[in-house]
Chains A and B, each alone.
Chain A
Amino acid sequence: MSVFTLPQAAKEASLVKELSDLVAHHRAACAPYRNILAAAGTPDTFDQVADLPWLPVRLFKNLELKSIPDDEVFKVLTSSGTTGEVSRIYLDKAAAATQTRQLGATVQTVLGPKRLPMLLVDTKSLLKDRRSFSARGAGVLGMATFGRDHVWALDADGKPDVEAIRGFLAAHGDAPFLIFGFTYLVWLHLYEVAREHGLDLGNGILIHSGGWKKLVDQAVDPDEFRRRLSADTGLRNVHNFYGMVEQIGTIFLEGPSGGSLYCPDFADVVVRDPETWAELPPGKPGLLEVVSTLPTSYPGHVLLTEDLGVVHGVDDGDWPGKRFSVLGRLPRAEARGCSDTYQKAA
């Protein structure tokens, strides 16, 4: 079973219809969304996905955007950004169930239908720290449901727990197992430890996310990451993914041969020219827009991220549809005004 099945033309046809319906749905159900579209002069019908009206993802930090009545709010997801602003994402029961189901279907594409023993490259104390819980903890907990017999690879201080990793490999290392963690933690605390201690991760399937910024400083790019994991630990099944709380349940997953992220059947990406806002062809980097049919309880179906990306090709990779990379983050706009705090300046 896979959710990476639709060639681009078929996906475009189904998405433009479903997403147009979602635009109408959110317009009817979410007054702030309706106001924005009215002020921007947005039409009612759309010929292609790239014509759909996008919201800047940061709006979810500034506004309460939901398309369900208060008494149907089942779960409120938050993500803390670096600047302390928090996105608030409202789910009803149906949306919460859908996002879990579709996230499961997406990862099962590479994990298979059965739950696998799971090595979490993180620390259990993460779940106790209320401040970091929402961001990293929620990611780890969300993914933990796709594994069994969980073992934490890091101790309470965030240091590699070599004995725990050895124990996990002794029990489960001779059959497929799941490894999950943030990219830089995997590199610093699993790759380096496994290499040093000659641990065999050959049966592992790694799913990782969280950006490359900390690794770029060490001159490790995605290719180098895969190459060295494979050469030094035997770990060959490596899947990066890209996703955000504002489009919960939708992840863009790296294909088996690496180098590109793929869009599940219910989602897609559009790369936009930040000057004209028109869609850019493959090979041209721009701002990344993510679309997904999962957001029904809040208007997060078409979001302009603050990430830069590039589409590498269409229907020409491991899986059908667009394949793309995330290139980094747009810096935050800063004004050089009079109002400038002493605290920051000092």
Chain B
Amino acid sequence: MRIRFGAPASLDELTAPSPDRLTVGDPRVVDFLARFARKLLVPAVARRHPELASLGFFLRPAELARAVTHMQRTDDALVFPRGNVFHIPPANVDTIFVYSWALSALAGNHNVVRISERSATAADTVLEALNATVADADPVIARTQRMVTYGRDDAVTGALSRWCDLRVIWGGDAAVETIRRQPLRPSARDLTFPDRTSWAALSVAGWQAAEPSARRAAVTGFSNDAYWFDQAACSSPRTVFLVGEPSAAEAVQREFLELLGDVVAERGWTVDAAMAVEKRVNAYGLAATGAATALHFPGNAVTGIQLADVGGMPRRWIGAGAFPFATVSSLADLVPVMTRQDQTFSHFGFPAEELRTFVRSLGGRGIDRVVPFGSALTFSSLWDGYDLPHEFTRLTSLQI
């Protein structure tokens, strides 16, 4: 086990009881996070890893203060840190571990974050920034906050699982199932982030009513959502639902795809030959079974797939820049096909009341986030249906 951040410690030392005490919104943590955020917002870093700039933005002082306020209660409950938190983030979404950890640290928890051996350069940059910040920070930070890397070692995962009060498992169904084989203490519990699928919806009427500049802005936002993580992040939109008059939907779809092709070409985003083949394999697979009725390959970067019916949208990843389309007459038609696996629903052109009615009809049975185009990947402390600051704290009720 390698300690990538925090005071050097053996596994035994790391899991031994600690005399250090942090509070919810501990000023030492707030100070540390704010200075860490400034390092991420340095232009040289932000240029190299735009996703780190979003992270820096998320951690700026005003946001931290808002998160701390949100952790407080107005009733007769007192809020305390949950205790020891063990985070197991995914290997290849480079920044999620920081969001998860930072909110937990802000809540005053002692944290151990397992960083994958395969973590990418953005993760290395984050660790450099953390280590550069900790030198001037209160020593309690290094003693209570640690990032570690270890190989497939059930003994380490087991020891950290017995140590923690909350285990945060990102990385999908397989990761959750594997890690759950390691028992927790009876009082502890898991916060799991299983496989998810996300969608986009375009109002046909809203699109028609929008100015050309607004259409273009919508497509630009959508392209960020889709292409940033090769359309494979849990929040990346996959199938696009056209909602409205079917006879008008075809023209809207055509214009949307054309604009998308333009935007993607302007950005210089390409997919390599392997990805292009992957998309053909998956698109042909959908056509073979009859799930798709028409395929459009205007270029490698954008693949359009016409679905035979709305329920036939694929929930597995089918490649970067692969967009199944289905047309429905209203959002109500989507309610029956949404499932617990579905996470983010990005939208364009709908009146607020239509969206509210849609969410109420879903009744929490599917879809955790409804956000405008361009915000699908914006991390929030409300995630996967959880209010993370509340998950990271515990309550003591006091009646006098």
Contacts and interface: CB of A to CB of B under 8 A. Distances in A.
Q: Do A and B bind each other?
A: yes
Interface of A: 32-33, 35-36, 38-41, 55-56, 58-59, 62-63, 65, 274-275, 277, 287, 304, 306, 330-333, 335-346
Contacts of A39: 287, 292-295, 306
B273 A33 contact: no
B262 interface: no
B23 interface: no
Contacts of B171: 338-342, 345
B46 to A, nearest CB: 20
Given A304-B280, A337-B230, 18 more contacts: A36-B284, A38-B293, A40-B295, A58-B277, A63-B289, A274-B273, A335-B230, A336-B229, A337-B232, A338-B229, A339-B171, A339-B234, A340-B92, A340-B93, A342-B152, A342-B171, A342-B175, A346-B116
Nearest to B279: A333
A275 B233 CA distance: 25
B92 A336 contact: yes
A287 B289 CA distance: 26
B319 interface: yes
A333 B232 CA distance: 12
A306 B122 CA distance: 31
Interface in B106-152: 116-118, 120, 151-152
26 contacts: A35-B288, A36-B287, A39-B306, A40-B287, A58-B281, A275-B276, A287-B273, A330-B273, A330-B274, A330-B277, A331-B274, A333-B274, A333-B319, A335-B232, A335-B317, A335-B320, A336-B93, A336-B120, A336-B230, A338-B196, A338-B229, A338-B233, A339-B90, A340-B172, A342-B174, A346-B153
B328 interface: no
Interface of B: 88, 90-93, 96, 116-118, 120, 151-153, 170-175, 178-179, 193, 195-196, 229-236, 272-278, 280-281, 284-285, 287-290, 292-295, 297, 300, 306, 317, 319-320
A17 B232 CA distance: 42
B120 A36 contact: no
A335 B179 CA distance: 22
Contacts of B91: 340, 344-345
A134 B314 CA distance: 32
Contact of B178 (A38, A277, A342): A342
B175 A33 contact: no
Given A32-B288, A59-B288, A336-B232, A306 B277 contact: yes
A338 B93 contact: yes
A58 B277 CA distance: 9
B289 A339 contact: no
Chain B CB within 10 Å — which of A332, A340, A342 has the most? A342
A299 B89 CA distance: 43
A277 B152 CA distance: 42
A338 B92 CA distance: 7
**Residue in A62, A340, A341 whose Cβ sees the most chain B Cβ within 10 Å:** A340
Contacts of A275: 273, 276, 300
A47 to B, nearest CB: 20
Contact of A338 (B234, B272, B294): B234
Contacts of A339: 90, 171-174, 195-196, 232, 234, 317
Given A333-B272, A345-B171, A63 B295 contact: no
A337 B235 CA distance: 10
A274 B276 contact: yes
Nearest to B196: A338
Given A39-B292, A332-B274, A333-B274, A341 B172 contact: yes
A65 B120 CA distance: 39
A129 B116 CA distance: 36
Given A32-B288, A58-B281, A337 B175 contact: no
Given A338-B171, A339-B171, A345-B118, A63 B277 contact: no
A32 B93 contact: no
Contacts of B92: 336-337, 340
A333 B278 contact: yes
Contacts of A62: 281, 285
B116 A345 contact: yes
B151 A346 contact: yes
Contacts of A331: 274
A36 B173 CA distance: 31
Contacts of A343: 152, 174, 178
Contacts of B230: 335-337
Contacts of B153: 346
B290 A35 contact: yes
Q: Across the A-B interface, give the 10 residue pairs with the lowest CB-CB distance, nearest first.
A: A337-B232, A346-B152, A335-B232, A274-B273, A339-B172, A32-B288, A39-B287, A341-B174, A333-B278, A336-B92
A200 B131 CA distance: 65
Contacts of B120: 336
Contacts of B293: 38-39
Contact of A335 (B151, B175, B231, B272): B231
A333 B231 CA distance: 13
A55 B284 contact: yes
Contact of B88 (A38, A330, A342): A342
A59 B281 CA distance: 6
B280 A56 contact: yes
A82 to B, nearest CB: 14
Contacts of A304: 277, 280
Contacts of B275: 333
Contacts of A345: 90-91, 116-118, 171, 175
Given A39-B294, A56-B281, A345-B118, A337 B274 contact: no
A35 B287 contact: yes
B315 to A, nearest CB: 11
A63 B306 CA distance: 20
Nearest to A40: B295
Contact of B289 (A32, A40, A337): A32
Contacts of B287: 35-36, 38-40
A35 B289 CA distance: 7
Contacts of B174: 339, 341-343
B93 A337 contact: yes
Given A56-B277, A330-B273, A338 B284 contact: no
Max chain A CB contacts within 10 Å: which of B153, B175, B275?
B175
Contact of B277 (A32, A33, A41, A333): A333
A330 B280 CA distance: 14
A288 to B, nearest CB: 12
